[in-house]
A = this chain, B = another copy of it.
Amino acid sequence: MATIGEVARVAGVSRSTASYALSGKRSISADVRRRVEDAVRELGYTPNAGARALATSQTRVIGLLAQFLEDEFAPAMLQYMLGVSNTARELGYDILLGTEADGRSALRRMTSSRMVDGIVLLNVAEQDDRLPILREAIQPGALVGLPGDCTGVDVFDLDFEEAGRVMVEHLRRLGHRELILVSQPQHVIERGGAYVWRLQNAALEAARLSGITLHAEFGSSHQPEVGRELNALLDAHPSATGLLINNEAAAAALPSVLHARGLAAPADLSVVGRYSDEFARTFSLPYSSIESAPDRLGRMAVRELVRRIEGQVGPDEPHVVRFVSPELVDRGSIGAPPER
């Protein structure tokens, strides 16, 4: 395989001149530049990434840590990954993917061996055990998900509090007085999925303020359990007229549950979910929902990360914590409550 030494020899110049001709970091005569470029083409030269990384201490690779845990709904995670991966490529970076359950060791490996210029962490928990490792690393980090302590990293997440309020408020306006909220499984929360609390508490508070009854419950992250649970909830609260879903598996299971009970939205029940439009299409979910914007969050995280990597943001400048506002996508599943 061709090296820059061979390019230089073919072009009849020194290695350093060849390097400058390609990088443009010093002025080069038109003649030499052409000869070097011809030699590159002739030999099919591509710089060796390892050698370049060694010389510049820049790899142009971003580490992406995505854990696929048992109680995680995988298709939802994929969209965040694609948002990150595609944006990175647009900015000239490649993605080193870590999917191991042990995110800490993956993170340590990538950072301490200098395989990457920066790190994106997905699905960040309230007390995320990867965070201390990331803070000790010399590479900058960007998170999707809000941890308890944001120091030293850029953070991007959906505004789950506002999402909870918006969901309740929309139904209140239409006259609903009793709602059910289905959250993620209890162990997702225990593991630190604080966003579940954020949405739930804000929804409870909003309901309290407007005198609405809100039954907040947990749901499993897998079939068929979650389907059974939905049925049980509908049985337990027959007078509820609205259903809020902050649980992808529950959302995916809902159509068949409603069908089986002979219920239609919004005629019998108003439904609002919290998932992405892409997710809705994949699972054919006809319910209005708060857009969770995975592609946008992934994009924002990479953008900011690259700004840090490339020094457009100084190492001392304060880090960013940015929330995406929840937007309600109307799929016609919300209406006034049925007369009783």
Contact = CB atoms under 8 A, between A and B. Distances in A.
Interface stretch (A17-25, A97-105, A144-152, A301-309): A97-105
Given A53-B50, A78-B75, A283 B252 contact: yes
B44 A54 contact: no
A43 B94 CA distance: 30
Copies in the complex: 2
A226 to B, nearest CB: 9
Contacts of A100: 86, 89
A281 B222 contact: yes
A115 B49 CA distance: 6
Interface in A91-119: 94-100, 106, 109-110, 112-115
Interface stretch (A155-163, A164-172, A173-181, A253-261): A253-261
Given A49-B113, A75-B75, A68 B97 contact: no
A94 B96 contact: yes
B94 A98 contact: yes
Interface string A37-54: 000000010111111111
Contact of A109 (B59, B82, B94, B112): B94
A59 B68 contact: no
A115 B47 CA distance: 10
Given A74-B82, A283-B283, 5 more contacts: A1-B112, A44-B112, A86-B99, A89-B98, A94-B110
Interface of A: 1, 44, 46-54, 59, 61, 64, 68, 73-75, 78, 81-82, 85-86, 89, 94-100, 106, 109-110, 112-115, 138, 222-224, 227, 252-253, 255-256, 259-260, 281-284
